[in-house]
Amino acid sequence: MTAHDYGANRSSVRVSPAQHPARTLVRRGLLVAAATVAAGALLLTALGTQAGAAGTSLKTLAEAKGVYFGTALTQSNLSNSTLTAVASSQFDMVTPGNEMKWDTTEPSNGTYNFAPGDAIVSYAQANGMRVRGHNLVWHSQLPSWVSSLPTAQVQAAMESHITTEATHYKGKVYSWDVVNEPFNDDGTLRQDAFYAAMGSGYIADALRTAHVADPNAKLYLNDYNIEGENAKSDAMYSLVASLRSQGVPIDGVGLESHFILGQVPSTMKANMQRFTALGVNVAVTELDDRILLPATAANLAQQATDYATVINDCLGVSGCVGVSQWGVGDADSWIPGFFSGYGAATMYDSNYQPKPAYNAAVTALGGAGSTSSPSASASASASPTSSPTGAAGSCRVADVVNAWNTGLTENITITNTGTSTVNGWSLGFTLASGQTVTSAWNTTISPSTGTVKATSLSYNGTLAPGAATTIGFQATHAGNTAAPASFTLNGSACSVG
Ligand code: XIL
């Protein structure tokens, strides 16, 4: 078992979801949501407004649908004010990235350290966010003293750990991932220290112990590669059915959802429905969608589709309580460190600018998408490296449009066909009527409608003779998906084609 199994595409064993009567589960807290929308609108920071216009934040839209939208945060994230401005304006649920795991909370037998987890809880409380406790029992990030114990002592150590941690956070967490990642991909239980000591019964014991410590916390089993119907999700389904029939306290199943671009399982919604038919909730707990770098415009458009699919799947299942992304932005994601060559897995780029996936998420949640252009940002990287020069009548532009019912992307390649180097450029063009830019890559675009300018960034402003660079943007449209008819580079007309 290696980290590289997360989100691995594997052949699925298709199982018909259990048929069940339509559930009448009422979505939670609409009145609370309305109050939060009002308060949240007042609290939006300049950055939050930029990331999504007031009223279109992920959390306000999610709450209006009766679900939450969360993120993982680590303690070091809390000192990044750019990050926390996005976190507090967009998300209403926090999962500590590492701070509640066993290696942090009980690094040696009987010695507890809750300060890092407490810092996350304090941040969440100060910003009106709830907390998913993550996690109590896991084979990974497990201090060696546990796996070195004689098997006869493991059960007592596990129960003490659960009781102490869940009691410490009693009343402060919405849910606990009580057992994290119990299964191998073939559906057998992982042969970890807990299984070795207690067999499969450790899972029921862990859930019962957590329930005694914090009877109000929702108790989850959480795993990866259980998003679609396959041998592993079948095993989780059988386990949950068995636990329910024995009266073991279990409230939900967490689908981690560490996806590879373009590989969201087509059976995800049906899979979630078969779990909710057992009487448990489901949640998307650690969503990311990794791209083989460098990410192209087409990759980012596919990622937007993937995010929309996952969110729509959750919204389509009445027992799906929310979606959490694993980290706020690409700069915070665990992906580059664990999957060589991959990255760009979240909705925000490394400057906390929203990517196409963000706008797709807003749209999936029923919002109109951001109307502000990333060019509203005072980002240092948005400035040309020097004053624009050259390129008089010496450019060619190729523009590829990909449109769907309400949106489009354009991928624009600019080639310097002249004989002198371009040092910083501004590409002028007029958007078709009804088109509004919602995000851009490798450029900033301003304004977001009408006649606009796309400006070079620090890394693509220099174009030697013959050199080309590709920029792109996503826009909403009202039926007219035409590409701009003409382009200018630093004020001079370019050939098109
Ligand atoms: C990851 C963290 O993001 C990393 O910082 C850490 O080094 C390893 O764990 N499944 C889980 C999460 O349940 O706890 C993992 O988090 C990602 C995979």
One digit per residue, the tens of pLDDT, for the chain of length 497 reads 344 578 764 433 333 333 332 332 334 333 333 333 333 333 333 333 344 444 479 999 999 999 999 999 999 999 999 999 999 999 999 999 999 999 999 999 999 999 999 999 999 999 999 999 999 999 999 999 999 999 999 999 999 999 999 999 999 999 999 999 999 999 999 999 999 999 999 999 999 999 999 999 999 999 999 999 999 999 999 999 999 999 999 999 999 999 999 999 999 999 999 999 999 999 999 999 999 999 999 999 999 999 999 999 999 999 999 999 999 999 999 999 999 999 999 999 999 999 999 999 999 999 985 444 333 232 323 233 333 333 447 888 988 777 777 887 787 889 888 888 888 889 999 999 999 998 777 688 988 999 999 998 766 788 888 888 878 888 888 989 889 989 899 888 888 88
| Residues annotated catalytic, as ranges | 181, 286
Q: What is the largest CA-CA distance in the chain?
A: 80
**What CATH topology corresponds to 395-496?**
Immunoglobulin-like (2.60.40)
- Ligand 1 centroid to Cα of residue 410, in Å, is 35
- For residue 322, give Cα distances in angstroms to 130, 287, 316, 472: 12, 11, 11, 31
The verdict on the CB of residue 106 being under 6 Å from ligand 1 is no
Q: Please choose, from the candidates 396, 161, 155, 439, the residue with its C-alpha nearest in 3D space to the C-alpha of residue 301.
A: 439
Residues 66-103 as b/e (b if ≥16 CB within 10 A, e otherwise) read bbbbbbbbbbebbebeebbbbbbbbbbbbbbbbbbbbe
Query: Within 10 Å of residue 40's Cβ, how many Cβ atoms?
Result: 22
- Residue 286 neighbours by CB under 8 Å, 6+ apart: 72, 95, 224, 254, 256, 257, 258, 324, 325, 326
In DSSP notation, 2-48 reads -GGGTT--------PPPP-PPP-PPPS-HHHHHHHHHHHHHH--HHH
Which two three-digit tokens encode residue 279?
A: 């009487």
Q: How far is the centre of ligand 1, averaged over its atoms, from the C-alpha of 137 (Å)?
A: 14
Q: How far apart are CA 308 and CA 322, in angstroms?
A: 14
Helices (H) and strands (E) in the chain, counts: 15, 22
Angle at 75 between CA 314 and CA 322, to 5 degrees: 10
Mutate to test the pocket of ligand 1, among 99, 180, 220, 334 (most ligand atoms within 8 A of CB): 334
Residue 48 in contact with ligand 1 by CB distance below 6 A = no
Atom of ligand 1 nearest to the CA of 3: 18
The CA distance from 384 to 202, in Å, is 60
Ligand 1 midpoint to CA 97 (Å): 6
Could you tell me the two tokens for 135?
Answer: 């996690």
CATH number given to 12-364: 3.20.20.80
Give the list of residues 6+ apart from residue 215 with CB closer than 8 angstroms, or none. none
Separation of CA 134 and ligand 1 centre (Å):
10
Question: What is the bridge-based pairing of β-strands 444-446 and 218-223?
Answer: unpaired
Closest CA to 159 of 173, 149, 172: 149
Do the beta carbons of residue 75 and residue 122 sit within 8 Å? no
416, β-bridge pairs: 395
Paired tokens of 470: 């590709």
* Closest C-alpha to 170, from 114, 116, 127: 114
Q: What is the DSSP string of 158-213?
A: HHHHHHHHHHHTTTT-SEEEEEE--B-TTSSBP--HHHHHHTTHHHHHHHHHHHHH
332 lines ligand 1 (CB under 6 A): no
Buried b (16+ CB within 10 A) or exposed e, 150-161: eeeebbebbbeb
387-406 burial by CB neighbour count: b if 16+ within 10 A, else e?
Answer: ebebbeebbbbebebeeeee
CA 101-284-164 angle, to 5 degrees, is 25
Domains of the chain, by residue range, sit at: 12-364, 395-496
User: Which amino acid would we find at residue 211?
Assistant: H
- Give me the half-sphere count of Cα atoms (radius 13 Å) on the Cβ side of residue 130: 20
Q: Is 97 in the pocket of ligand 1 (CB under 6 A)?
A: yes
302's tokens: 């596919």
Please return the burial class of 210, using the count of CB atoms within 10 Å of its CB with bins 0-12, 13-18 and 19+.
buried
Check: CB of residue 78 under 8 Å from CB of residue 84: yes
Closest of 40, 20, 17, 52 to residue 352, by C-alpha: 52
Two tokens at 324?
């959490």
What residue ranges in 358-465 does DSSP mark as E strands? 395-403, 407-416, 422-423, 426-430, 436-441, 444-446, 451-455, 462-463
Cβ of 334 less than 6 Å from ligand 1: yes
Residue 340 makes CB contacts below 8 A (sequence gap 6+) with none
Three-point CA angle 360, 129, 66, nearest 5° = 55
Q: Is any ligand 1 atom within 6 A of the Cβ of residue 472?
A: no
Q: How many angstroms is it from 107 CA to the middle of ligand 1?
A: 17
